[in-house]
């Protein structure tokens, strides 16, 4: 077990993969200076500029070039700097990369990791703060991962690099400096949720940084005698339906929370899956951002946030219903 930050955990995973496999390389803007969030610090000194490749400011060119390199037999890690910037390369990702294996009849593939720092962070405003994970879950051919802890950022990055399909890898910008214990012997598995806290009264489901808020909410609920179970999905496609269903079967209550806009967010998929499977003790609850633009001003930005207090209040509300 080693204690490290969320950013350093992914960096360690990248470095280990590059040492083990010469076909793994990184490409993106600002990598030569360590990346915008310093998540590549020291890698260019170890691996050189050919494998830690600085690219011009053209997301479409970065994505397209990496796609060609992936089809030619390498395993690129594509750094998009911000999830919002990656929209400039959406055509390459959605219409080419996601469909390559299918359209070439399995003769070619695109083993790529597309890193997209996501979420609200220090007044980054409307064009630098979005959480767009549900967009990519909607696209067949893409794997989608949203790790919340240093442990998962290490293990899932290793799994993403080894994956033979393209992985949209969303890391929350607000937790780069978060520290935690990392066991490098533990493998990452897509479609395998983590039970961050066991409980019997209400199930809290989330991913990315909001999963951390769910843990905080569960701790607060415990002070009031409510035993909440926290399910961190880790990956959204594939996602661990069985873990969620097993938990809700036990608790009979469900709260799903995410930072992304609530309208058409992935939380709706979780709620629908549960509702189609079993009868609950209370109506399921979805928490997400309002369908509005994220302001620069901190007081306005805070109006868009899902908080631990909101999650705890929603869980308490479900406890008010009579047992079915």
Residue 296 inside a domain? The answer is: yes
Residue 94 inside a domain? The answer is: yes
Question: Residue 36 has what pLDDT?
Answer: 87
How many structural domains does the chain have? 2
Structural domain of residue 50, as residue ranges? 2-182
Q: Are residues 137 and 23 in the same domain?
A: yes
Q: Are residues 132 and 256 in the same domain?
A: no
Distance between CA 39 and CA 14 in Å, rounded? 10
- Judge whether 128 counts as a catalytic residue: yes
Q: Are residues 162 and 55 in the same domain?
A: yes
- Confidence class for position 122, pLDDT limits 50, 70, 90: confident
Interval 21-35: pLDDT, tens: 999 999 999 998 999
Q: Which of residues 158, 182, 206 is at a domain's end?
A: 182
Question: Residue 119 has what pLDDT?
Answer: 95
pLDDT above 50 (res 50): yes
Q: Which residue has the tokens 């035993």?
A: 227
Q: Are residues 85 and 157 in the same domain?
A: yes
pLDDT above 80 (res 322): no
Q: Are residues 70 and 172 in the same domain?
A: yes
Residue 323 inside a domain? The answer is: no
Rg (CA), the chain: 20
Residue tagged active-site, from 128, 138, 172, 258? 128
Question: Residue 323 has what pLDDT?
Answer: 56
Interval 58-103: pLDDT, tens: 999 999 999 999 999 999 999 999 999 999 999 999 999 999 999 9
Residue 86 inside a domain? The answer is: yes
Exposed, middle or buried, 168 (CB in 10 Å: 0-12/13-18/19+)? buried
Q: Are residues 178 and 237 in the same domain?
A: no
Distance between CA 175 and CA 169 in Å, rounded? 15
Q: Are residues 162 and 253 in the same domain?
A: no
Q: Are residues 176 and 311 in the same domain?
A: no
Residue 44 inside a domain? The answer is: yes
In Å, how far are 52, 157, 220, 277, 292 from 170, measured between CA atoms? 20, 10, 28, 29, 21
> What residues form DSSP beta bridges with 75?
24
What is the DSSP code (8-state) at residue 23? T
Question: Residue 321 has what pLDDT?
Answer: 87
Closest CA to 166 of 143, 140, 136: 143
Question: Residue 269 has what pLDDT?
Answer: 98
| Residue 268 CB neighbours (<10 A) | 15
Q: What is the mean pLDDT of residues 98-113?
A: 95
pTM: 0.96
Q: What is the mean pLDDT of residues 314-322?
A: 92
3-class DSSP state of 69: helix
Exposure string of 186-199, with b = 16+ CB inside 10 Å and e = fewer, is eebebbbbbebbeb
CATH number of the domain bearing residue 154 = 3.40.50.970
Closest CA to 194 of 162, 147, 226, 161: 147
Q: What is the mean pLDDT of residues 289-297?
A: 95
Q: What is the mean pLDDT of residues 140-167?
A: 98
Q: Are residues 170 and 267 in the same domain?
A: no
Question: Residue 305 has what pLDDT?
Answer: 96
Structure tokens at 155: 């293990």
Question: Residue 324 has what pLDDT?
Answer: 47
- pLDDT > 90 fraction of the chain, expressed in percent and rounded: 96
């Amino acid at each position: 077990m080693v204690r490290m930050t969320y950013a350093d955990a992914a960096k360690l995973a990248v470095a280990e993969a590059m040492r083990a496999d010469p076909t793994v390389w990184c490409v993106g803007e600002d990598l030569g200076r360590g990346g915008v969030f310093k998540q590549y610090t020291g890698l260019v000194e170890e691996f050189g500029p050919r494998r830690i490749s600085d690219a011009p400011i053209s997301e479409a060119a970065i994505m397209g070039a990496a796609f060609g390199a992936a089809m030619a037999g390498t395993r690129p890690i594509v750094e998009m700097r911000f999830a919002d910037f990656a929209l400039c390369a959406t055509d390459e990702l959605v219409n080419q990369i996601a469909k390559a294996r299918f359209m070439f009849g399995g003769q070619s593939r695109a083993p790529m990791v597309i890193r997209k720092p996501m979420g609200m962070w220090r007044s980054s405003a409307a064009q630098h703060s979005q959480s767009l994970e549900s967009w990519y879950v909607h696209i067949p051919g893409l794997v989608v991962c949203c790790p919340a802890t240093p442990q998962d950022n290490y293990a899932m990055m290793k799994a993403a690099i080894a994956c033979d399909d393209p992985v949209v890898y969303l890391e929350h910008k607000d937790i780069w400096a978060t520290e935690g214990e990392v066991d490098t012997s533990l493998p990452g598995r897509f479609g395998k949720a983590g039970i961050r806290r066991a409980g019997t009264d209400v199930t809290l489901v989330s991913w990315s940084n909001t999963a951390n808020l769910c843990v905080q909410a569960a701790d607060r609920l415990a002070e009031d005698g409510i035993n909440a179970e926290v399910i961190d999905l880790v990956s959204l496609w594939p996602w661990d339906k069985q873990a969620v269903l097993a938990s809700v079967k036990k608790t009979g209550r469900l709260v799903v929370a995410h930072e992304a806009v609530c309208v058409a967010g992935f939380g709706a998929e979780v709620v629908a899956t549960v509702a189609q499977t079993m009868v609950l003790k209370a109506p399921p609850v979805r928490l997400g951002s309002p369908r509005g633009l994220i302001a620069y001003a901190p007081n306005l930005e805070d109006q868009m946030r899902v908080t631990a207090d909101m999650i705890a209040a929603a869980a308490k509300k479900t406890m008010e219903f009579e047992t079915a």
